[in-house]
């Protein structure tokens, strides 16, 4: 790896200050993406600002909202009795045990990999991303491949998940990486039905309005059959073309509803 300066701040303000002190500084949480890219010489940050000592880990439930701290690892979400079972299932299916015990929810959605699981859960439940400066609705947070609404000096402190009546998640994973070829998260609440798709969109995670409309009328796997999933805007690669992913979206939507 290239030379880099390591910082271990004890407060959020100090972390932001350390980030601003470097020419190309990066926040370091679980390091499951950043350290790998550094080892491959695909990234060479001038400074690494470790955010694991900022007290941002933990899960709290109050007033119908479950707040998951940004540095909470996937394994903790998977084993929590406070988060919705669908979100726990999502977390339990990320990577392998080592990844689940190091990777963090904040790191995942800050990176916003187009094949990551958490973006589907955050968008699919209509969660709110809480930062050191503001609160960002999930619909406004994800802006494209590896792109979010976060400003340069902004750090995620928590993700707030609202209470939902029903929710389910199903994914078809790439066997080697265990990232999603397609993942579908569905939820039903007083504010309506949400369907978020990850792994399939050329611009990253997205909501599928056709599936939402069908499931709002009938929350059953059979309701998915009447929906046409267009290939427009879907990814095509060595693992599956657009037609393959379009079909998987319907298959996995049915499985997610059945599991809810």
- Supply the CATH number for residue 188's domain: 3.30.390.50
Cα–Cα distance measured from residue 188 to residue 212, given in angstroms and rounded to the nearest whole number = 9
Angle at 84 between CA 158 and CA 34, to 5 degrees: 40
244: left (phi > 0), else alpha (psi -120 to 50), else beta? alpha
Q: Name which of 114, 82, 84, 80 is nearest 100 in CA terms.
A: 80
Same domain, 248 and 171: yes
The phi and psi torsions of 172 (rounded to 5 degrees) equal: -115, 115
Q: Please say which residue of 162, 178, 195 terminates a domain.
A: 162
Q: How much is the pLDDT for 36?
A: 83
DSSP string, 156-175: EEEEEEEP-SEEEEEEEE-T
Question: What would the mean pLDDT of 156-173 be, rounded to a whole number?
Answer: 97
Same domain, 191 and 156: no
* Residue 190: domain span: 166-259
Q: Tens of pLDDT along 121-150?
A: 999 999 999 999 999 999 999 999 999 999
CATH code, domain with 123: 3.30.465.10
Specify if 26 maps to a domain.
no
Number of domains in the chain: 2
Question: What would the mean pLDDT of 75-101 be, rounded to a whole number?
Answer: 95
Same domain, 190 and 157: no
Residues 6+ apart with CB under 8 A from 38: 1, 2, 4, 44, 45
Specify if 93 maps to a domain.
yes
Rounded to two decimals, what is the model's pTM?
A: 0.94
User: Secondary structure of 177-225 in the HEC alphabet?
Assistant: CCCEEEEEEEEEECCEEEEEEECCECCCCEECHHHHHHHHHCCCHHHHH
The phi and psi torsions of 46 (rounded to 5 degrees) equal: -70, -30
Same domain, 157 and 222: no
Q: Tens of pLDDT along 40-61?
A: 888 888 888 888 889 999 999 9
Specify if 88 maps to a domain.
yes
Counting Cβ atoms within 10 Å, is residue 185 exposed (0-12), middle (13-18) or buried (19+)? buried
Question: What would the mean pLDDT of 196-205 be, rounded to a whole number?
Answer: 95
C-alpha dihedral sign at 79, 83, 84, 90: negative
Same domain, 196 and 250: yes
- Which contiguous run of DSSP H or E holds residue 6? strand 5-7
User: What are the angstrom distances between the C-alpha of 126 and each of 13, 32, 100, 136, 142?
Assistant: 28, 25, 23, 11, 12
Q: Please say which residue of 117, 136, 162 terminates a domain.
A: 162
Percent of the chain with pLDDT over 90: 77
pLDDT of residue 2 exceeding 80: no
Cα–Cα distance measured from residue 21 to residue 31, given in angstroms and rounded to the nearest whole number = 20
Specify if 141 maps to a domain.
yes
Q: Report CA 93 to chain centroid distance, whole Å.
A: 13
Q: How many residues are listed for the chain in this entry?
A: 260
The phi and psi torsions of 26 (rounded to 5 degrees) equal: -135, 145
Same domain, 141 and 76: yes
Specify if 109 maps to a domain.
yes
Q: Name which of 174, 218, 223, 169 is nearest 196 in CA terms.
A: 169
Q: If pLDDT is split at 50, 70 and 90, which confidence band does 259 have?
A: very high
Same domain, 73 and 153: yes
Q: If pLDDT is split at 50, 70 and 90, which confidence band does 1 have?
A: low
Q: Please say which residue of 115, 135, 162 terminates a domain.
A: 162
Question: What would the mean pLDDT of 104-122 be, rounded to a whole number?
Answer: 95
């Amino acid at each position: 790896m290239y030379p880099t300066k390591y910082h271990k701040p004890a407060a959020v303000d100090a972390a932001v200050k350390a980030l601003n002190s470097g020419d190309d500084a990066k926040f370091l949480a679980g390091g499951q993406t950043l350290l790998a890219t550094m080892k491959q010489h695909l990234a060479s940050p001038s400074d690494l600002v470790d955010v694991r000592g900022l007290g941002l880990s933990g899960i709290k439930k109050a007033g119908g909202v479950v707040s998951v701290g940004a540095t909470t690892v996937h394994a903790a979400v998977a084993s929590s009795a406070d988060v919705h079972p669908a979100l726990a299932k999502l977390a339990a299916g990320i990577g392998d045990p080592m990844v689940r015990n190091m990777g963090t929810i904040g790191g995942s959605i800050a990176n916003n990999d187009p094949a990551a699981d958490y973006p589907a859960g955050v968008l699919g439940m209509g969660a709110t991303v809480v930062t050191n400066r503001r609160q960002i609705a999930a619909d406004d947070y994800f802006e494209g491949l590896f792109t979010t609404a976060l400003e340069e000096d902004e750090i995620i402190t928590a993700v707030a998940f609202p209470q939902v009546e029903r929710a389910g998640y199903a994914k078809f994973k790439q066997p080697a990486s265990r990232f999603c070829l397609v993942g579908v998260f569905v939820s039903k609440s007083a504010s309506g039905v949400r369907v978020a798709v990850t792994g399939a969109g050329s611009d990253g995670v997205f909501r599928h309005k056709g599936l939402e409309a069908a499931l709002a009328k009938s929350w059953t796997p059979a309701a998915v059959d009447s929906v046409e999933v267009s290939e427009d805007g879907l990814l095509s690669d060595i693992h599956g073309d657009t037609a393959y992913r379009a079909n998987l979206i319907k298959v996995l939507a049915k499985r997610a509803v059945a599991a809810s």
